[in-house]
């Protein structure tokens, strides 16, 4: 009988802790999917597969682009690439994600830019196909465009 009271008390304590954890957890907004792939064409600077990773915090969102197929033409220092990623809204228009965030890269390293910041509304559905990524390095602008829809599909923000 005593063991039953102890296990019941322990179960109630665990349940109370779980409920308290949920009550104090921040409300998390989600973007679906969190990552998508595209094939990009950057003209004479190359092209190939790239991964877009998105996050959301309220109306603020970020997207990071990484590609092992597109490489740095020269050594680049951290935060030296000015980037604008333009995404197409399913409802019409575009949303821009901008920033100067990038890791340091040696010549030939995979390109990575972001997180690039933008503003989204609940229900926004954003697609890379039809948009572009413009990167300015030492005054030279490189424009990359998607050659087809992103997979598994557009980013949908809560």
Could you give the angle at the alpha carbon of 30 between the alpha carbons of 131 and 92, nearest 5°? 30
Q: pLDDT tier at 27 (50, 70, 90 boundaries)?
A: very low
pLDDT of residue 19: 37
Contact 115, 55 (CB under 8 A): yes
Contact 56, 31 (CB under 8 A): yes
Distance CA 61, CA 89 (A): 14
Give the model confidence (pLDDT) of 70-81 as tens digits: 888 889 999 999
Give me 74's structure tokens: 């020269």
Distance CA 20, CA 31 (A): 26
pLDDT of 11 above 60? no
Q: Which of 51, 71, 58 is nearest to 30 (CA)?
A: 58
- Classify the phi-psi angles of 123: left when phi > 0, otherwise alpha if psi is within -120 to 50, otherwise beta: left
**Phi, psi for 58 (deg, rounded to 5):** 70, -125
Give me 31's structure tokens: 């973007």
pLDDT of 3 above 70? no
> What is the pTM assigned to this prediction?
0.80
Q: pLDDT tier at 60 (50, 70, 90 boundaries)?
A: very high
Mean pLDDT calculated for residue range 90-108: 97
Give me 11's structure tokens: 């179960």
Q: pLDDT tier at 68 (50, 70, 90 boundaries)?
A: confident
Tell me, rounded to whole angstroms, the distance of Cα 86 from its chain centroid.
13
């Amino acid at each position: 009988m005593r063991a039953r009271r102890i296990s019941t008390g322990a179960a109630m304590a665990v349940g109370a802790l779980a409920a308290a954890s949920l009550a104090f957890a921040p409300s998390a907004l989600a973007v679906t999917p969190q990552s998508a792939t595209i094939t990009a064409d950057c003209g004479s600077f190359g092209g190939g597969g790239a991964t877009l990773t998105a996050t959301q915090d309220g109306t603020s969102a970020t997207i990071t682009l990484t590609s092992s197929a597109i490489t740095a033409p020269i050594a680049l220092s951290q935060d030296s690439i000015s980037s604008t990623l333009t995404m197409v809204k399913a409802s019409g228009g575009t949303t821009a994600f901008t920033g100067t965030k990038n890791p340091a890269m040696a010549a030939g390293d995979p390109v990575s830019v972001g997180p690039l910041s933008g503003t989204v509304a609940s229900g926004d559905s954003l697609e890379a196909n039809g948009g572009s990524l413009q990167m300015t390095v030492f005054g030279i602008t490189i424009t990359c465009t998607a050659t087809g829809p992103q997979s598994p599909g557009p980013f949908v923000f809560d």
